[in-house]
Amino acid sequence: MALETDFIVIGSGVAGLRASIELAKSGAKVTVLTKDKASESNTEYAQGGVAVVLSDDDNAELHEEDTLIAGAGLCDVEAVETLVTDGTKYIKQLIEWGIEFDKEGGKLAFTQEAAHSRRRILHAHGDSTGKEIVRALIARARQEKSIVLMPFANTESLIVYDGRCVGVRFLDPILRAPREIFAKAVILCTGGAGQLYRHTTNPPVATGDGMAMAYFAGAEMADMEFIQFHPTALSLENAPRFLLSEAMRGEGGILRNKMGERFMARYDERLELAPRDIVSRSIVAEMRRTGTRNVYLDMTALSEDFLRERFPKIYETCKFYDLNIAEDLLPVSPASHYCMGGVRTDLHGRTTVKGLYAAGEVTCTGVHGANRLASNSLLEGLVFGARGGAAALADNYELRITNFKLENPQSAIRNPQSDGIATAVKKRVKRVMWERVGILRDKDSLKRALREFKQIEQANLSTSSRNFVTLAKLVATAALWREESRGGHFRNDFPERDEKFRVHSIQKKDAEISSDEKINF
């Protein structure tokens, strides 16, 4: 039997929780579906902090300028203005709701991160900002009796009827079978797709299902070629690529090669505080030059007491692997970290499919351009989660849920694969993405990747595997189309920026890739 609710939110990171709270203000019933437990999301793993204009020596114009510079000419100015101005309001609201940002002498403590012209990064419990934001938002959401959190409900597809998104198909965690839930509108807040790559800082849930589901539902996708690789992930044998926060370099960390030389001066005058895409490519170049698999992050100029207090989670994690961040050089290499592209939306979370809204990393609003400015992601989720929730409510509050007559009701449920086959498919895709569609790209490698993905598609894939391969194809197709280097997209065969490509790539099911000068519509 199908379920009914007023609004469905998919995902419980900062965007999903903030959207849910906004929707619940009206008393509407909001059902939040999450793949894992409610607190498991990319938000929880965000260490560095959240960028916001609150210090005395800062202003919105400076934050906007820094964001536009990092975005390499592809940010939409209106989207950035919305982010930096609304951001201050919503962060103040979070503080009112009880979030505990770190303080010094009774005042908010701000830190520096790459490509920021001011110390404007708020952090919580040293390096656990995302976790603290999730805690505060879940606590606030639980005050709203109309919000129902449904963990371990793996969403498989969106239900579209007569051009409108009317619900979701998901795997019922109790029945272990596909089930349908209908609503006035659906808000996608499913996060990014870092798991497309063999090496990533993202948690296992970041497989990009929301992007693929939106694509299959007919939504337009934008800027899928722009993947941000974090420069400094812990690089140890048999250990996950644990993120060593940007803030470590903001506090004075130095990158060294295997000879102990500080090398960033060879690549950029901003040294370790250059934008992430530049630092990542510089590290790759240095590893190739020296024939090594990693470089080193040196924090030894700072006291152990300071580092233990400022980066407690990183300190303890490194200690688990027999590394003292105050004494040892930390082996690091880049890993996939953030998707600048995603489901195309306006500034109120509306996608190109009626009844379907989206917020956070799953989207492309144009706010990040070709390269996200450090610590703008939590702010994006907060601002556009609230705006998306408000728009979904205003647009659909009077709508009545009817019994939708579905054509091919099981069309999105493919033959299930065994866990072993599904794992093998994803492992192959991750390898191809890392080797062919990674930090450095060229025409031949991208074409080879697309041939492999086409071959993989010939199998009778499960829904999750089909989503995974489709998403990889979208990234590779857009990367092949963009014959220039800009931000997080670098082509060895087209190493320069080309002004004719100062446009957004747009992809839609059953259509050729196209371009658009403006994301927001």
Give the domain ranges of the chain: 232-336, 419-496
pLDDT higher than 80, residue 383: yes
Concatenated DSSP letters of 331-381:
EEEEEEEEES-EEE--TTSB-SSBTEEE-GGGEE-SSSTTSPPTT-HHHHH
Structure tokens at 432: 């191809």
Q: Are strands 342-344 and 363-364 parallel, antiparallel or unpaired?
A: parallel
Q: What is the DSSP letter of 262?
A: B
Confidence class for position 400, pLDDT limits 50, 70, 90:
confident
pLDDT tens for 303-326 read: 999 999 999 999 999 999 999 999
Query: Cα(12)–Cα(18) distance, rounded to whole angstroms?
Result: 9
Structure tokens at 521: 């519509």
pLDDT tens for 62-118 read: 999 999 999 999 999 999 999 999 999 999 999 999 998 999 999 999 987 777 899
Amino acid, res. 433: M
Query: Cα(231)–Cα(422) distance, rounded to whole angstroms?
Result: 30
Query: Cα(441)–Cα(483) distance, rounded to whole angstroms?
Result: 10
Confidence class for position 412, pLDDT limits 50, 70, 90:
very low
pLDDT higher than 80, residue 39: no
Quote the pLDDT of residue 237.
Answer: 87
Concatenated DSSP letters of 419-436:
HHHHHHHHHHHHHHHHHH
Query: Cα(89)–Cα(71) distance, rounded to whole angstroms?
Result: 23
Confidence class for position 195, pLDDT limits 50, 70, 90:
very high
The answer to whether 387 touches 86, Cβ cutoff 8 Å, is yes
Q: Are strands 356-358 and 110-111 parallel, antiparallel or unpaired?
A: unpaired
pLDDT higher than 90, residue 205: no
Nearest to 180 by CA among 190, 166, 193: 166
Percentage of the chain exceeding pLDDT 90: 77
Domain 232-336 in CATH 3.90.700.10: yes
Which residues have CB under 8 Å from 35's CB, separation 6+?
152, 153, 154, 155, 205, 209
Quote the pLDDT of residue 414.
Answer: 47
Structure tokens at 462: 């499960």
Confidence class for position 374, pLDDT limits 50, 70, 90:
confident
Fold of 419-496: Methane Monooxygenase Hydroxylase; Chain G, domain 1 (1.20.58)
CA distances from 260 to 257, 298, 328, 374 (A): 5, 9, 12, 27
Confidence class for position 136, pLDDT limits 50, 70, 90:
very high
pLDDT higher than 90, residue 417: no
Residue showing tokens 């790759």: 284
Quote the pLDDT of residue 452.
Answer: 97
Mean pLDDT, rounded, for 489-502: 97
- The residues annotated as belonging to the active site are 276
pLDDT higher than 80, residue 4: yes
Quote the pLDDT of residue 409.
Answer: 44
pLDDT tens for 236-282 read: 988 888 999 888 998 999 999 999 999 999 999 999 998 888 899 99
